[in-house]
Structure 1
Amino acid sequence: MALFLLGRRFFTCRADINMTAVHAYCSSVASGRQRVNGVDLYYEQTGRGRHAVLLLPGALGSTKTDFGPQLKSLNKELFTVVGWDPRGYGQSRPPDRDFPSDFFERDAKDAVDLMKTLGFSKFSLLGWSDGGITALVAAARNPNLINKMVVWGSNAFISQQDLKLYEAVRDVSKWSVRMRQPMEEVYGAEVFAKTWEAWVDGIAQFAHKPEGSICLELLPLISCPTLIIHGEKDPMVPSFHPQHLLQHIKGSRLHLMPEGKHNLHLKYADEFNKLVEDFLQQ
């Protein structure tokens, strides 16, 4: 859930990237749209490393709101970093976002097919919150394509405790201006409020499935090295969720950040980026 956001960045270096419908709108990030599964998906790409990495944003999130410090500071010699806006989010509109029962599966297919369209035969996943759930699905469904995976602020099932947390944030008019503003800049106040309510209903539907499963049955299918990061002060993701992932993803490891909240990759970007770079290089 992309409740805490960052919308400002951009820097300097060349964008030597040759792609369809791409323009370099700053000197280090190339942006463009690719037609994937019937929709035009917006993405940004930076770096020239051999190790490709896809950033997967949280609910209603986008490259612009969710991953500024990663696009800026992940090692551009080692990694080629791609951020994207899932269909109906950010600049991947139209279409308007909807939340059918398979929306995580749909996002996972879109994400993988986007990377294949961009010419990446194997890549790693960095997934935050809803993006982490999408990454779990993508890794389970595409074991031969995924190199490594990092997920944080994510869950594979919905508990009654989770439902209460989601209902508590349903009404965005009760959010602080600081929390609302980045999303309202992307969507406008009315569309943001409407889409957020639709997301709350969309995520809540999983509570009616056996064991509240979003993707419980897929966790044993994940074979790539997986790093789970959890902020111990995360107000939206109870600690039993990363523990469950650790227990059910073979060979995974868990790193706890004692002061981390839901947006730990933004608030503690230097620590997070180093942790990720070290893991991806191992």
Structure 2
Amino acid sequence: MLFFFLNRYCKVTLLTRFSIFDVFSLLFVYTKTDFGPQLKSLNKERFTVVGWDPRGYGKSRPPDRDFPPDFFERDAKDAVGLMKTLGFGNFSLLGWSDGGITALIAAATNPELIKKMVVWGSNAFVSEEDLKLYNMVRDVSRWSARMRQPMEEVYGSQVFAQTWEAWVDGIAQFAKRPGGSICREQLPFISCPTLIVHGEKDPMVPSFHPQYLLEHIKGSRFHSMPEGKHNLHLRYADEFNKLVENFLEE
């Protein structure tokens, strides 16, 4: 399978299946700091992992990251285009946070390519409550050193702070759209089996977001992790990896 892991830095994973050996091929859209347990521990006999940094992130620089109104659509096109270039005819998606949004758009606009999808920590619209949460974390100098360090090691403290603030402004622009839509209108076009995972203690994504996805993606399933926060795939990696493997191999 090919997974598309997307986080607020647009990490995505895509899946494709080799018909002869029943092996799955996975594409992670990631920075290494975000998906270490998945890169290390997913079953390598069943999955082939391909890493990808979206434009403006990680090793896909230059250019610098920017956030035009269509940045999610741009990331989705880039990711699917990469998979086509690599020769994958169909695949599945795993998307975290912004990566989940990118995965939703990729699945909606390329239904013939996407076999299955897993998303967590993601939202199809921006509410006033969300805006308050985003603005609370705008200033990275107020973050703990533990939270800042991985990103500062990749980008440097100044570039990371500037990029994060630009992201806050970029995601906030959707609140000006009708219903705060990021991709609400695209959800009905998702036809692949979809698993929505939610950490009940996620401080960044209120529970009404995964519920909205569940109600508007036909045939989707919901899995709750009572102690999970936004980084549930890191904190509870073994449980998460098993959940994902079981779903994708059904």
Specify if TM > 0.5.
Answer: yes
Structure 2 unmatched ranges of 5 or more: 1-5, 10-20
Q: 1:98-147 deviations in whole A, cap 9, x for unaligned?
A: 00000000000001011111111111111000000000000000001011
Alpha-carbon contact 1:157-1:216 (below 8 Å) kept? yes
Q: Which residue of 2 aligns with 1:80?
A: 48
User: Which shows bigger deviation, 176-185 or 64-73?
Assistant: 64-73
Please state how far the C-alpha of 1:51 moved relative to its aligned partner.
1.8
Residue aligned with 1:64, SS: coil
Q: Which residue of 2 aligns with 1:16?
A: none
Alpha-carbon contact 2:7-2:100 (below 8 Å) kept? no
User: Which shows bigger deviation, 267-276 or 80-89?
Assistant: 80-89
The alignment covers a number of residue pairs equal to 234
Which residue of the other structure, out of 87, 100, 111, is the alignment partner of 1:119? Answer: 87
Name the CA distance, whole Å, in 2 between partners of 1:3 and 1:51. Answer: 26
Alpha-carbon contact 2:27-2:49 (below 8 Å) kept? yes
Q: 1:17-69 deviations in whole A, cap 9, x for unaligned?
A: xxxxxxxxxxxxxxxxxxxxxxxxxxxxxxx973222334xxxxx33121111
Q: 1:2-24 deviations in whole A, cap 9, x for unaligned?
A: 589xxxxxxxxxxxxxxxxxxxx
Q: Which residue of 2 aligns with 1:173?
A: 141
Q: Which residue of 1 aligns with 2:115?
A: 147
Alpha-carbon contact 1:126-1:135 (below 8 Å) kept? yes
Residue aligned with 1:132, SS: helix
Q: Which residue of 2 aligns with 1:106?
A: 74
The alignment status of 1:236 with 2:209, answered yes or no, reads no
Alpha-carbon contact 1:128-1:152 (below 8 Å) kept? yes
Please state how far the C-alpha of 1:76 moved relative to its aligned partner.
1.0
Taking structure 1 as reference, are residues 49 and 190 closer, same or farther at Cα in structure 2, changes over 3 Å only? farther
Q: Which residue of 2 aligns with 1:129?
A: 97
Q: Which residue of 2 aligns with 1:212?
A: 180
After superposition, the CA RMSD in angstroms is: 1.5
**Aligned partner letter, 2:27:** L
**Aligned partner letter, 2:28:** L
**Aligned partner letter, 1:51:** F
Alpha-carbon contact 1:49-1:79 (below 8 Å) kept? no
Q: 1:152-208 deviations in whole A, cap 9, x for unaligned?
A: 000000000000000000000000000000000000000000000000000000000
Q: Which residue of 2 aligns with 1:51?
A: 24
Alpha-carbon contact 2:8-2:96 (below 8 Å) kept? no
Name the CA distance, whole Å, in 1 between partners of 2:8 and 2:129. Answer: 18
The alignment status of 1:161 with 2:118, answered yes or no, reads no
Q: Which residue of 2 aligns with 1:202?
A: 170
**Aligned partner letter, 1:53:** L
Residue aligned with 1:63, SS: coil
Name the CA distance, whole Å, in 1 between partners of 2:132 and 2:142. Answer: 16
**Runs in 1 of length 4+ with deviation above 6 angstroms?**
none
Name the CA distance, whole Å, in 2 between partners of 1:185 and 1:172. Answer: 14
Name the CA distance, whole Å, in 2 between partners of 1:72 and 1:168. Answer: 33
Structure 1 unmatched ranges of 5 or more: 5-47, 57-61
Identical columns (%) = 79
Name the CA distance, whole Å, in 1 between partners of 2:7 and 2:136. Answer: 15
